[in-house]
Structure 1
Amino acid sequence: MNWATAVTRLGGDHLIAAVAWNDLRTRYAEPHRRYHDLRHVTAVAHDSGDLAVAFGLGSRERALVAVAAWTHDVVYDARPGEDERASAAWTRDELTNAGVPEADVERAGELVLSTIHHSAPDNDLLATALLDADLAILGATPERYEEYANGVRAEYSIYSDEDWRAGRTAVLENLLARPRLYRSDIARARWESKARGNLANELTRWRDADPHHR
């Protein structure tokens, strides 16, 4: 579901939504973005929409998932936590400006905030659709996964190779230690196996590059 359709389905004004879309698109085209760009959120919107349908969510619920998918990285300066909170604030402001009801505004903001720690109640199907879609890249083809990994490294270029290697290795080990990467059985069937293969391969590359690793 595209941005304008999602906002109008929630009762928002389509002209105000169009203005917000222009700002959103400009933000996702910022030059420092190498992965968290319009290509990424378009994929998340598509995959979360597919999951929302598979979960049997209603029209309004699917619109909320779509809004959160489009805006969850609208503010991105490689500041984990701060970026998501700023993105949630942008989401609330723009939906409010468009005339979306307050309850939907707050729910959309909550969904964006769930991406900070990738956590939400087990029965929250809207968050599950968003969070599983956000991690779909982990189960992409090896070539696309490598693009993603290189893009994220470029976004954190402020860190030295040594510091990045240590931090990234810890992230990969943490992910691989999880009993399941995806919240839903549907997402797990689609992406889990490939994701674990991609993560393991990247971890091996970083360990091989570490002169202190035995």
Structure 2
Amino acid sequence: MAHIVKDTEDFVTDLLTHQLDSNYLYHNLRHTQRVVKNTKELLDAYDLNDKESEAIELAAWLHDTGYTQGFNDHEKNSSIIATKFLKEQGYDEEGIKKVSELILATQRYYEPKNLSEEIIKDADSSHLRSKSYLETSELLREELSKLEIAEFSPKKWRNENIKMFRTEHRFYTDHARKNWQDGKDKNLKKLVKSKKKLKKLTRKEELKVKLKNESPERGIQTMFRVTMRNHLKLSDIADTKANILLSVNAIIISLMLSNLIPKLDDPQNDYLIYPAAIFVLFSVASMIMSVLATRPNVTGGEFTKEDVQQKKVNLLFFGNFHKMKLQDYEWAIQELIKDQTYVYTSLTKDLYFLGLVLNRKYKLLRWTYTIFMVGMILSVIAFFVALKFYGPEKIIELPT
């Protein structure tokens, strides 16, 4: 039966190539060939008789053929397939029994009882010492997912691997312990190092999130930022409203000066003097109020060191420092940022005085709109009364 190993290799290669589900990314022909290669390495290290060595090599080739029948009970199915194939090849009953026992010895928690079982057991787990272990292990994780057997996150899979390395697996043969253990230990170190790195990174991210969510400083800063933005927006709105009124009244006065006022020289148009005067008066008043609402108010622009030390000056408002030298202002800012309370006090003052400015602007705007509205109403009434009771019998249309 010298040809039995070659025939078995051909049979397994054909079987796994054509009948194995493509979702088996790890338990495939490549894995079987790797197990056979490492089995031969172990056989070379021990002086076993030819019959026993042959049985071990046959078991290495046939031990995963059961995956063609499904994931569950694949060792038993592999044993059944091996028994059937070897009988067809005329292999002796004692040899078939030996091969079948060796295949069943590859079960995960099986403890080998002799050297042959130790060899096949170590060869089946030889990938634990390979340099490509992390990539190979990832193929197994994907295989379990694709076959809907188990779903592992990368973190959980890493933990399962570390647990298996430390408590569930060991090499049985002296050759494996001497030559393969170092590679296994290196892979374990890589896993542990990756776990620590991820744990450190996760802890750092959790700390960032915690500080972001729980830090009162962030909440205070957000409050000041949002409030300041709202105040500035309200100030822009007030300025826009004042500019609109200023522009409208300027246009009205321009039209009055160019069209209506020149006609007042004619004695026949004396009845228009009072309505025109009311119109112009209220328009001018509206313009003055609009200017007052938008006119900036700049303070002295100077402070002393005592003011800074006693925290009397608000260094965040330009009106308090625009006349100071750069080095004096830099010194003052350094003093400001040393004291968190001073910073918040300055921001509070900034908001407070900005609120006072807004209050003044909106009060003036309210009066401006009121004056404009009253002026328009009175002017229209005055023109109507003048035309109705004091105008000529034939009303001449005024050019627009």
Residues 88 and 113, structure 1, Cα contact 8 Å, conserved in 2 = yes
Quick one: distance in 2 between partners of 1:85 and 1:139?
A: 27
1:1-214 residue pairs with structure 2 within 5 A?
5-7=3-5, 20-21=11-12, 23-26=14-17, 30-76=21-67, 79=71, 82-117=73-108, 119-122=110-113, 124-141=114-131, 144-157=132-145, 158=148, 159-162=150-153, 165-166=155-156, 169-177=159-167, 181-205=170-194, 208=198
Quick one: distance in 1 between partners of 2:82 and 2:186?
A: 35
Which residues of structure 1 form unaligned runs of 5+? 9-13
Quote the offset at 1:25 in angstroms: 3.8
SS in 1 for 2:184: helix
Quick one: distance in 2 between partners of 1:126 and 1:169?
A: 31
Question: Which structure has the larger Rg over C-alpha atoms?
Answer: 2
SS in 2 for 1:57: coil
Quick one: distance in 2 between partners of 1:69 and 1:192?
A: 21
Alignment size in residue pairs: 197
Deviation track 1:20-63 (CA, whole Å, cap 9, x = no partner) reads 34543425754112111212111111111221231111111111
Distance 1:119 1:72, change over 3 A: same
Q: Structure 1 length as normaliser, TM-score?
A: 0.77
Quick one: distance in 2 between partners of 1:79 and 1:168?
A: 22
Quick one: distance in 1 between partners of 2:193 and 2:66?
A: 32
Distance 1:168 1:87, change over 3 A: farther
Quick one: distance in 2 between partners of 1:72 and 1:138?
A: 18
Backbone CA RMSD of aligned residues: 3.1
Quick one: distance in 2 between partners of 1:155 and 1:90?
A: 23
Quick one: distance in 1 between partners of 2:189 and 2:19?
A: 29
Distance 1:187 1:29, change over 3 A: same
Give the number of the structure with larger relative contact order, counting CA–CA contacts within 8 Å between residues 6 or more apart.
1
Quick one: distance in 2 between partners of 1:99 and 1:170?
A: 43
Quote the offset at 1:19 in angstroms: 7.0
Quick one: distance in 1 between partners of 2:164 and 2:141?
A: 18
Structure 2 residue identity aligned to 1:154:
E
Partner of 2:322 in structure 1?
none
SS in 2 for 1:75: helix
Residues 73 and 84, structure 1, Cα contact 8 Å, conserved in 2 = yes
Distance 1:5 1:53, change over 3 A: farther
Residues 13 and 29, structure 2, Cα contact 8 Å, conserved in 1 = no
Residues 141 and 152, structure 2, Cα contact 8 Å, conserved in 1 = no
Quote the offset at 1:171 in angstroms: 4.8
Q: Structure 2 length as normaliser, TM-score?
A: 0.44
Structure 1 residue identity aligned to 2:79:
A
Deviation track 1:156-177 (CA, whole Å, cap 9, x = no partner) reads 1123334x75466245314313
Quick one: distance in 2 between partners of 1:136 and 1:152?
A: 15
Distance 1:66 1:118, change over 3 A: farther
Distance 1:76 1:165, change over 3 A: farther
Structure 2 residue identity aligned to 1:177:
T
